[in-house]
Amino acid sequence: MNAMRSNKIFFGIVGGGPNSWIGHVHRIAARFDNRYTLCAGVFSRNKNISMKFGASLGLDPNRCYSNYVEMALKEAKRKDGIKVVAIMTPPSSHQRIAEKFIEKNINIISDKPFAGDILQAKKLYKKIKSNKKIKYALTHNYSAYPMVREAKKMVELGKIGKVEYLNVEYIQDWSEGEQITSKNAKRILKWKMDKSIVGCSAVLNEIGSHAYHLAIYISGQKAKKIYADIEQISKKIKCDKNARVLMNFDNGAKGQLWTNVLAKGGVYGLRIRVYGSKGSLEWIQNDPNYLKFNPSKGAVILKERDFYFSKFSKKFSRVKYGHPEGYLDAFANIYKEFADFLNNKSKKKFFFPNEDEGLETAKFINACKISSNKKKWVEVK
């Protein structure tokens, strides 16, 4: 595809190949608001597969690359080269891929987590901050749900008073009901068993990072000290499956986080409750258009997206209240905001997650691993 000059942002993709569900999500999100034009990509480590998949998307064969190093080098030399690269590969590769494009002054939209471990996270954070020409966005997409943004705004405005307690959980079942054994583990869990790919913790990197980010995003607080108990599948299958974390936040608030990837019957259960001195908020991802506000004095209020008392959420809504909106829209909100940010169309406040939150989440996960191993409270640093 020979992309024509326009006000659209030319972008490329690393990862997200033929069998990647999250790749499909990112491509849809980028198209939602007609702000991006896909021009280039590396969709597989297998060059033939990458070329074939790129062709199926209508890309110029000369811009379907065999590896991300080649892509960064050649796209940086083109007059019509990409302005943004979207990274949707396993966690441990995020840092090294991003750094190659940062060196070529190409902006980044990365799938979570920020990096595979704390060392990678600190290196990547330093690389981003050292290059003033690039911007970085992290797709913790739950932060872009309209009613999550409504909740964040309510906390900022003091509607629930000082945040005192917080409870967040995110559970899944990667086994789809099967019992994980030494014989079937690799078939079911695939690369998520390999720490060199998934990073320091499967459960915390893959979904725990979302839970913690949602907690700090809505509350405006960061964990200062934590006590974590992390459980592996078995002594033979060394893959983190469950994490329970007690959290002390920087304002004195207390919190709990629970995340599990083998909870039988667990179907994407993301839920957060925030309690303040004047009331509480509750949001459940499986019922995303509603935010439960419970004042300390008075009746419970069920706030609906874009409806009467939830007008702030309208800024991030694409369909009228009374109609469902959700996962793809949230991803698209991040892509749209990042496009506005890159085009400098306004000085308004932006809400998409960036490298600061990425590093904060990496610090939290690292502290969890240390705490669980030492069986004691540790500082998040």
| pLDDT beneath 70: ranges in the chain | 1-6, 323-324, 345-347
pLDDT digits (tens, 9 = 90+) for 174-227: 998 899 999 999 999 999 999 999 999 999 999 999 999 999 999 999 999 999
What integer pLDDT is reported at residue 350 of this predicted model? 87
Domains and CATH numbers, the chain: 9-142 (3.40.50.720), 145-317+354-379 (3.30.360.10)
| Cα 124 off chain centre by | 16
What integer pLDDT is reported at residue 261 of this predicted model? 95
What integer pLDDT is reported at residue 323 of this predicted model? 67
69 within 8 A of 100, measured Cβ to Cβ? yes
What integer pLDDT is reported at residue 316 of this predicted model? 85
What integer pLDDT is reported at residue 4 of this predicted model? 41
What integer pLDDT is reported at residue 6 of this predicted model? 61
Sequence letter at residue 222: K
3-class DSSP assignment, residue 282: strand
Contacts of 345 (CB under 8 A, 6+ apart): none
Helix 21-31 / helix 327-343 crossing angle, nearest 10 deg: 50
pLDDT digits (tens, 9 = 90+) for 11-69: 999 999 998 989 999 999 999 999 999 999 999 999 999 999 999 999 999 999 999 99
218 within 8 A of 154, measured Cβ to Cβ? no
3-class DSSP assignment, residue 230: strand
Asked if residue 91 has a cis previous peptide bond (ω within 30° of 0), the answer is no
